[in-house]
Amino acid sequence: MIVHDEAGTRNALPSPSLIDALCAMIAGECVTPVRHHRDVAVPGDDDAALPFMPAWQLGAYIGGVRLKPGTHLDLAGAILAYQNHSDRQAIGPARVAN
């Protein structure tokens, strides 16, 4: 797993090219099913929700996002895990550190 700090994330995802890539993905043939979630029992606390937000391009890439619930309580920001896999290359998961 690749772990990026803020500077590494900025270097890996420069804004102009990221915006262009997102526009191309949205305009292209991206499959984005309805978000799904599971309730997760948390001992001594309210249940959490674990949302799954997958997206893919046929014959190209598949990715997903998982958010840790409860970030409004005392965490500085959402803990986000993003996985992007290519059917042609061994691109592994990446995580953005907060």
The per-residue pLDDT for range 79-97, each reduced to its tens digit, is 445 555 555 554 444 444 4
**Cβ–Cβ under 8 Å, residues 93 and 74:** no
pTM beyond 0.85: the answer is: no
Evaluate if residue 61 carries a pLDDT over 50: yes
**Cβ–Cβ under 8 Å, residues 30 and 55:** yes
Q: What is the mean pLDDT of residues 30-47?
A: 81
Look up residue 22 and give its DSSP letter: H
Looking at every residue in the chain, the average pLDDT score rounds to 69
**Cβ–Cβ under 8 Å, residues 90 and 69:** no
Evaluate if residue 98 carries a pLDDT over 60: no
d(CA 62, CA 30): 10
Evaluate if residue 34 carries a pLDDT over 70: yes
Tell me the percentage of the chain whose pLDDT exceeds 90.
Answer: 0
Predicted confidence at residue 76, as pLDDT, reads 42
